[in-house]
Structures are given as C-alpha cells and as structure tokens.
Amino acid sequence: MALIGLALLPSPSWALGLNDVSAWAQTTWNAAVDTARTGQDDLYFSGYTWHDPGTYTAAKRATLNSHAWGIGWGRHRVHADGNEDMVYAMVFSDSHWNAEPVVGYAYQWRYFNDSPVGVGLGYTLAVTSRADIFNNIPFPIALPLLSLRVGRFSIYGTFIPKVNNKLNNGNVAFFFGRYEF
C-alpha cells in the first residue's frame, strides 16, 4: 500500500532537476557540434599563468612556469543576440613545463558588441590531461571564462580554484588569446 501511495505523489524535485540538466547537456552538445560545423576559424595562443602568492610559497613559485606558451585552433559562432559559442583545441606549456593539451567548448554572454571594444562572461567545459594530475589520464574541467575583445583579437582569462587546503596548489589564473579569421 505504501508503494502505491508513493507512486501517486508528484515526482521529486531532484528528478526535475536531472531532466533540466539532461536538456542543458543536449543543448550544449548540439551547440558545440553546430559551431564545429558552421563556425568561423580562430587561432588561439597562450602565454601567461599566474600562481596566487597567498596559496604558493615564494620558493615554490620560483620553480613554476609562468610563461604558458602554446597554440591552438578553434571555431566560434556569434548568435543574433551577440552571445557566442566556441570550440577549441590547444596545447601549451603547463606550470611544470609539460605539454598540456585541452579540447573544449565555451559559451560567452558578450556585451558592447556594437563598439570596437567588448567584454564577455561565460564558462568553458573541456577535457585536459596533465603529467602531475592522474598521470596524463584525460579528465574533465569546468571553469569560468572572462574576455576582452578589441576588433578580431580577444584576451581570455580563467581561474582554477584551490580544491583542498594543501599548500602550493590551486588558485591559478590562466590567460590566452584568440584571433578571429
């Protein structure tokens, strides 16, 4: 009897949340595929990583690579409302001078699209691998993304937060650029 009573209750709110997440994931996947197929080509380049002095000791920061030189290719698509989808693949020198590949999708809400200088706020979902994390086994990342656009050039910044209380890890800002063809 109790099971029949439970079956008559409305579905729990978490179930609706899972449906919402599933719909968002499908929409995001479709946007990434459409952008890869129909977007405009981009050249990506990276160059700087900032390690938070409040998280890393001076001695540790002295051993880390701040010059995250790298290159990549991608595509972007601007919507009628000015917002943007991006797909990209890059490889760059990580904090330990190892090659770090990343393949991802990004979405940005863009502002001041009609002016020569614009800004954006969004997120990126990607897969990367690092020698110091999981021995180069690929793993997913989801990070915030900010941008400053001047004509065909954009500078992006993201922040990798600290995930534990250990010293000398996390709270890293990564900066890269894009040229739109």
51 is catalytic: yes
Encoded tokens for 58: 């001076």
Marked catalytic residue, from 42, 46, 76, 94: 94
Placement of tokens 């990343």 in the chain? 102
Return the exposure string of 15-26: e unless at least 16 CB atoms fall within 10 Å of the residue's CB, then b.
Answer: eeeeeeeeeeee
d(CA 18, CA 96): 38
46 is catalytic: no
Marked catalytic residue, from 42, 46, 51, 147: 51
Other Cβ atoms less than 10 A from the Cβ of 179: the count is 13
Placement of tokens 């729990």 in the chain? 12
Number of H helices, E strands in the chain: 3, 8
Using CA atoms, how far residue 149 sits from 131, 178, 180, in Å, is 32, 9, 10
22 is catalytic: no
Marked catalytic residue, from 42, 76, 85, 95: 95
Residues classed as catalytic: 51, 94-95
